[in-house]
Amino acid sequence: MAKPVQIGIIGAGRIGKVHARALSQLPMARIEIIADVVDGAAKKLADEFNVARAGTDYREILQDKNIDGVFICSSTDTHAKLIEEAAKAGKNIFCEKPIALDLDKIDMALKAVADAKVILMVGFNRRYDAGNIRLRQALLAGEVGTPEICCISSRDPAPPPMEYVKISGGLFLDMMIHDFDLARFLLNDEPVELLACGACLVDKRIGKLGDYDTAMVTIRFRKGALCHIDNSRRAVYGYDQRAELFGSKGMISTSHIHNDNTVFAGVDGFRRPPIQNFFLERYLQAYQAEGGVFVDCVRKRKAPPAGGRDGRAAVVMGYAALKSAKEGRWVKMAEIK
Amino acid sequence: MAKPVQIGIIGAGRIGKVHARALSQLPMARIEIIADVVDGAAKKLADEFNVARAGTDYREILQDKNIDGVFICSSTDTHAKLIEEAAKAGKNIFCEKPIALDLDKIDMALKAVADAKVILMVGFNRRYDAGNIRLRQALLAGEVGTPEICCISSRDPAPPPMEYVKISGGLFLDMMIHDFDLARFLLNDEPVELLACGACLVDKRIGKLGDYDTAMVTIRFRKGALCHIDNSRRAVYGYDQRAELFGSKGMISTSHIHNDNTVFAGVDGFRRPPIQNFFLERYLQAYQAEGGVFVDCVRKRKAPPAGGRDGRAAVVMGYAALKSAKEGRWVKMAEIK
Amino acid sequence: MAKPVQIGIIGAGRIGKVHARALSQLPMARIEIIADVVDGAAKKLADEFNVARAGTDYREILQDKNIDGVFICSSTDTHAKLIEEAAKAGKNIFCEKPIALDLDKIDMALKAVADAKVILMVGFNRRYDAGNIRLRQALLAGEVGTPEICCISSRDPAPPPMEYVKISGGLFLDMMIHDFDLARFLLNDEPVELLACGACLVDKRIGKLGDYDTAMVTIRFRKGALCHIDNSRRAVYGYDQRAELFGSKGMISTSHIHNDNTVFAGVDGFRRPPIQNFFLERYLQAYQAEGGVFVDCVRKRKAPPAGGRDGRAAVVMGYAALKSAKEGRWVKMAEIK
Amino acid sequence: MAKPVQIGIIGAGRIGKVHARALSQLPMARIEIIADVVDGAAKKLADEFNVARAGTDYREILQDKNIDGVFICSSTDTHAKLIEEAAKAGKNIFCEKPIALDLDKIDMALKAVADAKVILMVGFNRRYDAGNIRLRQALLAGEVGTPEICCISSRDPAPPPMEYVKISGGLFLDMMIHDFDLARFLLNDEPVELLACGACLVDKRIGKLGDYDTAMVTIRFRKGALCHIDNSRRAVYGYDQRAELFGSKGMISTSHIHNDNTVFAGVDGFRRPPIQNFFLERYLQAYQAEGGVFVDCVRKRKAPPAGGRDGRAAVVMGYAALKSAKEGRWVKMAEIK
C-alpha cells in the first residue's frame, strides 16, 4: 500500500477539529502533529484522534521534513503569513477561508505559493457537498442548457457573538463569501459587476458596528447569467442552505436536509423535523470529502478544485459588495484593487 | 352544437348534490328534473342549480321521454329496484355504489340492464381521480412492468354515526368496497382469493354492532400479484387515500393532497397543512370527471369504465372479506354466491 | 334566496372566457350579456355558458339598468376609457390588469370611479390563490414575525408571440407587474425604491424590440424588508410560480403544483409529473375565487382586496423597474409620476 | 480519559468490515484483533483500519484477557457455537443476526449468555436508524396515541446469488427477519399470530429452490394493532425501506433517502436521484450508531436495545411465517417451538 500523506494541523479550534476528524478517517492520510498557540489545546485534540505529537509552535510542523501538507485552521489574520511560511518550507497547503481580508496580503501569499510550486487549496467546503457537485455537473453536462438565473439562499441559525462580528470583516466577507464562491462554482463563470443591498433587521448591535445582518446581492456574470444571493444571520428554523440553477433546458436545485426522514401527520397538519442546525452538521460529509480531495491532490500533484485564485476572487466579490452597499450603486469587479 | 344529454336525478341528498353540481358544469349535459321522496328536498337542489322541474316521485323521470339518463343517488336499498325500472323505461343509468347488498338483487338488476341494452355505470368515483388514472396507465403502458405488489391505504377522518354503521353493510361492504374496486382497476386483473383481518380499535360501539373499524386484507390476483389494503374509520389527520403499484420495472404511487401548497418552517420543524378532509373535497374533480364520462358514454354508446360487472365484483369481494374475517381463513371468490 | 348580481362582460377573448366560466358557476352571479367588438365572438361565448344576450356594442351593457357589475376583459388600451364610462353609468367594475400603461389615464379612471362611488376591482388573480392567501395570513397572524426577506420566482413556460411583445409594455409592465402586486400583497407594505436588472437571454428578437426576457429586481420596502423577484419568459419545465416569506419567527413558502399527485420510481430515479403549464390551469381556482370575491363585494358594498390604488401602484413599480434597468441605478417610487 | 473498550472481531467479510469501520471511528472503542478462517482476510482488514493483530483462529481472541467484547461476524451456522464459547470466556458479545436457524441452538446459546452474565447484543441494525428511532419515540411519547396499524415495506434492489438463496433459510428467515424485529421494535409489543403469503414472481429459480421472492405478512399484536409487511427481492429503483405507524392521535412514517438532495426540472417532469442502493449505504450511519451502543452498553453494564430474546423472537416469527405460507392459514407464535 502507498504511503499515507503526512499532515500537520495548525489551529486546534472548532474548524481544526473538523479537519482532524475528517483526516483521521482517511486511509491515505495521517495526522502527524497538531499545533495551537493556546496551551493544551493541541494536546487535547491530538489525544482525541490518536495523534502522536502536539505543541504550541507551528514552526515545528514547517520544519519537519516528513510533513507533506499543512492545514491552516488558525485565526484569519494569521492565514496569509502562514501560507507564505509554509510555501517557503515547501509544504502543500490547505487554508481555511478567507486567505486574508487584505488583497495585498493575499497576492503576496499567492506569489509565495507560485514561487514554491506547492499546492494551495482554500477551504470552500460547499464545493464538496454532494448536492452542489450535482448542480455543477448538471451545468457542465449540458443538462440545464445555457445558465440564465442562479439563486442562492444562505441563512445562519443565529447571529454570532458581537465580539466575533467586530473582527469578522462584515457579512459580505465573512458569510456571503461562501456564496460568492458557490456562485462562481455553480455557474462556472466569472462575475462582471454586482449590486448589493444590506440591512440591519435582526440585531441592532450589528448595525451599530457598521455591519449588516440581512443582505441581497444581484450579480451579472460574463456569459450573461444573473445571480441572486440572499443572506440572513438568523433563520429560526435552522441553517438554510439552498441553491438553484435555471437555464435554457431546465432547472436543478438543492433542497433542505432534515434531521431525519420522518413525517408526522396529526390534527394540525404534517410535520417534518427541523433542518440540520449549522455548518458542522450540514457539511459534515462535505468536510470529510474536502480532506480526501486535498490528500488526493497532494498525492497526484493535481490542482485543487478551489485554489488561490478562487480564494482571491471571493474576497474581491466581498469588497465589491461592501462598496456597492455603501455607495448604493453597481460595482464592477475591476474596481476592486 | 349537438343536443345535450338530458338527465334526471333521483335523490337530492349529499351525493345527489355532488352529481348535480358536476352535471351543471358540463356543456353537454342538462339536468331536466330532480326527484326526492323527502318533500322539498328536490326543489331546493333544483333551485340551486337552475333546474326547471322537481318533485317527489321518481316515476315522473322514468316516464319522461326526453330523459336520456338517470342518476340514482337514493339510499342503497332502493338501487336495484330503480335500476330495473329505469332499464325497463329505456333509460341509461348511473347508479351510486353499491348496486345492492344482495347478489340476487344485483343479478336481477343486471339482467334488466342487459335485456334493455341500456348503459349502466356504477359510481366508483376513484376511477376518475387523476392519480389513480395515471397509475393504471403506467401499468397498461408497461412502465411498471409485471405488477407484483399493490398497496392501498384508505382511512376516513372520523367514524360515521352509529345509525349509519347499523345499515351500512359493514366496513368491508360500505368502505373497503371502493378499495376492492380500485385494486381491480389498478391491477387490471381479477382476485382469486383473499384473507381479511378485522379489529375494533377506534370505537367500541362499532364492535358491539358486530362491525370492524380497522381492517387489513391480503388479496391474491390471477396473474400473481399480491395486494394489501388497510382501512381505518378514524385518521385524525384527514382523509388518507394512497395507492402504490410495484412491478418488475418500477413503482408508481399516489401521495397526499394537502389543503394548499405551502410549507411553514419554524422552530419546531417544517409544517404542511392537513390533507383534504373527506371525499367530497378529495374527489371533487373525480366526481366532475365521472359525470362527464357518463355523458360521453351515453352520447357515443360506449361501455362505461365501471359497469354492472364491476359493481357486482366489488360486492363479491366484500362478502369474501366478511367471511374471511369471521372464519379466520383464506376465502376464494368462487365461494361467494 | 337573494337576487343574484347581474353581470355584463366586455370582451369575449381568452380572459373573458375565464371569467365567464367562473361566474357561471357562482349561484349568486348571473351573466346577463356579453359584448365583443369581434362579430360573433360574444355570441359564441354566450352560447357556451347559457347567456341569453350577446352583441358587439358594450354600450348596451352600460345602458342596461339591471346590470350591477361590468367585467372589462377587452384589450389593455381600452381599459381606462371603459372604466370611466362604466363608472359614469353607475356600474361596479371588475377590470383586468393593467388599468392602463399611462398614469394620467389611470388617474382619470380612478377619479371617475371615486366620483361615482362605484366599486373597482383590478384583476390581480394571484391574490386569490390559496397558497398566496396562506402566506399573507401567516404574515398578518404574526406567524413569520417581522418580515425580512421575500423571494418571488415567476417564469413563463414560453415567450409570447413577437406581435404581443411589441404592444405588451415590456416584461416589467406586462409580466412582472403581477409579482410587484404580489410583493405588496404578501408583505402588506409599500415599496420605497428598487433596483432592476434585465437581460435578453432567451430570444434575441425580444432584445431587438428593446425588451428583456430575463430579469431580477431587488426592492426595499418601507418597514425594512428586502424583496427579490426574478422573471424568465421561458421555463421549459412549465409555469413556475413560487413565493417565500422569511421573517423573525419563520419562513413560509409556496411550492410547485404538479399535474397529478403521483411519483414514479424507476432505474433512473424518482419522477414527478410536470407542473401546470400556464396561468389558465395554474390559477383556475384563483380565477373562480376572484369572481366570487367581486360578487361578494358588490352585494355587501365592500372594498375589494385589489382596488384602483393597487392597480396604480403596480404600474408605478413597473415604470420604476424599467427606468432602473435602463439607467442602471436605484429608482425611488417617488420619482415615477 | 477512560480506557476504551477493547474489541476482537471474528469474521472479516462484508459485514465484518462494516463493523471494523464503525468501531475504528469511535473514541471509546479499540479493535485489538481480527480473526477470519480465510487466510489473509483478517490481515487485510486489520491493515485498512490500523489494527495491530490479525489471525485465522478466533480462539486467540477469546483467550486474550484484555478483550472486553467480541463481534461475531462470521457465517450464520457458526453464530450459536461462538456465542457459547465467547460467553464461557466471559466476553461481552455482539452477534450478527440471526443467532441461528435452529431454536434449540438459540436457546443453548442464550443459556450460556445468561449463565456467564455477559452482554449479548444482536445485530438488528435498523433499530439504530434515526428514522426508526424517531418512530418508536413517537409511540413511546404518546404522539401517535394507541397504535392501530403498522405498515413496513422492505425491498432489496436485486436478488442474491442462488448459492446464497440455498443456504439463506429462505426469505422469511433471511430477509423479513429484519422487518419482524422492526415491527416488534416500532410497536413495542409482541405478536400473537400471523398470516403469511409468499409468491415467486421475480426469478423462477428461487421458486424451484422452494423459496419465495415476494411476500406479504399480516400480524396481529397483543395490544390489538395490525401490522402489514411486504418484501420483494427486486426493486429496480433501489433499496426500498419504509415504515409507517398509525394510531389514534396521528401517523408517523419514514420516507425515501435519496442519493443527494437535488431535484431536476426538465421538459419531462421533475426528477430526484435514485435512493441509496443497498444496506451498506442506507444503514451506514445506523451501523456506526450500533457499534457505539454496544460499546456504551459494555462500559455501563447496560442491557442492549436488541438482546438474545429479541434475536429469538424474530426467528420464531420467521418460522411462523414459513409455516403460515406453506399451510395457508393463520399461525400463532405459540405453535413454534
Question: What digits encode the pLDDT tens for the residues D27-70?
Answer: 899 999 999 999 999 999 999 888 999 999 999 999 999 999 99
Closest residue on chain C to B241 (Cα): C261
What is each CA distance from D262 to A129, A133, D258, D272, in whole angstroms?
Answer: 11, 10, 9, 6
Q: Distance (Å, rounded) from C-alpha A255 to C-alpha A282?
A: 12
Rounded CA separation B84/B95 (Å): 11
pLDDT at D255 over 80: yes
Q: What pLDDT is recorded for position D81?
A: 97
A237 and B270 within 8 Å at the Cβ level: the answer is yes
Could you read off the pLDDT of D171-214 as tens digits, one per residue? 999 999 999 999 999 999 999 999 999 999 999 999 999 999 99
Inter-chain CB proximity D230 and B328 less than 8 Å: no
- Please give the grid coordinates belonging to residue D269: 417532469
Mean of all residue pLDDT scores within chain B: 96
Interface of C with D (CB under 8 A): 235-238, 240, 256, 258, 265-275
Contact yes or no for A270 and B272 at CB 8 A: yes
How many angstroms away from the CA of C249 is the closest CA of chain A?
6
Identity of the highest mean pLDDT range in A221-230, B23-32, C12-21: A221-230
* pLDDT score, position A48: 87
What is residue A49's predicted lDDT score, i.e. its pLDDT? Answer: 87
In chain B, % of residues over pLDDT 90: 93
ipTM of the complex: 0.94
* Residue ranges in chain A whose pLDDT is less than 70: 1
pLDDT for res D48 = 87
Q: Supply B255's cell numbers.
A: 401521495
CA distances from A268 to A265, C140, C235, D136 (A): 8, 19, 35, 21
pTM strictly above 0.90: yes
List the CATH code of the domain at C127-283+314-335. Answer: 3.30.360.10
Among chain D residues, CA nearest to A46 = D27
pLDDT above 80 for C14:
yes
Residues of chain C found within 8 Å of residue A249, distances taken between Cβ atoms: 236
pLDDT of residue D50: 84
The CATH number of the structural domain formed by A5-118 is: 3.40.50.720
Q: What is the pLDDT of residue A292?
A: 95
CA distance C263 to C258: 10
**Taking residues C111-115, what's their average pLDDT?**
97
Compute how many other C-beta atoms are within 10 angstroms of the C-beta atom of residue A166. 14
Where in chain C do CATH 3.40.50.720 domains reside?
5-118
In the predicted model, what is the mean pLDDT of residues D290-296? 96
Contact call for residues C131 and B262 (beta carbons, < 8 A): yes
Mean pLDDT across chain D, nearest whole number?
96
Task: Determine the average pLDDT of the residues in D288-293.
Answer: 95
Q: Which of A295-304, B318-327, C169-178, C279-288 has the lowest mean pLDDT?
A: C279-288
The answer to whether the CB atoms of C274 and D267 lie below 8 A apart is: yes
Which residues in chain A are contacts of B262 at CB distance < 8 A?
A: none
For the segment B95-105, the average pLDDT, to the nearest whole number, is 94
List of chains touching A (3+ CB pairs within 8 A)? B, C, D
Q: Which of C224, C232, C249 sits opposite A149 (nearest CB)?
A: C232
pLDDT at C276: 87
Phi first, then psi: give them for residue B65, nearest 5 degrees: -70, -20
- The amino acid present at A337, given as its one-letter code, is K
Out of A46-60, B112-126, B193-207, C129-143, least confident range = A46-60
> A216 with A228: CB under 8 angstroms?
yes
Residues of chain D with C-beta less than 8 angstroms from the C-beta of A47: 1
What's the rounded Cα separation, in Å, for the pair A109 and A118? 12
Task: State yes or no: pLDDT of C153 exceeds 70.
Answer: yes
Span(s) in chain D for CATH 3.30.360.10: 127-283+314-335
Q: Is the pLDDT of residue D138 over 90?
A: yes
Task: Answer yes or no: is pLDDT of B252 > 60.
Answer: yes
Q: Say yes or no to pLDDT of D1 above 90.
A: no
Res D277: pLDDT: 86
* DSSP single-letter state for residue D329: B
Contact B269 A274 (CB under 8 A): yes
- Angle, to 10 degrees, between the axis of helix B176-187 and the axis of helix B130-140? 30
pLDDT of residue A277: 85
Tell me if A259 and D143 make a contact (CB, 8 A cut-off).
no
CA distance D123 to B132: 40
Cβ of C264 and B138 within 8 Å? yes
Per-residue confidence (pLDDT) for residue A280, from 0 to 100: 87
Q: In what order do the strands lie in the sheet with C120-123?
A: C53-55, C29-35, C5-10, C69-72, C92-96, C120-123
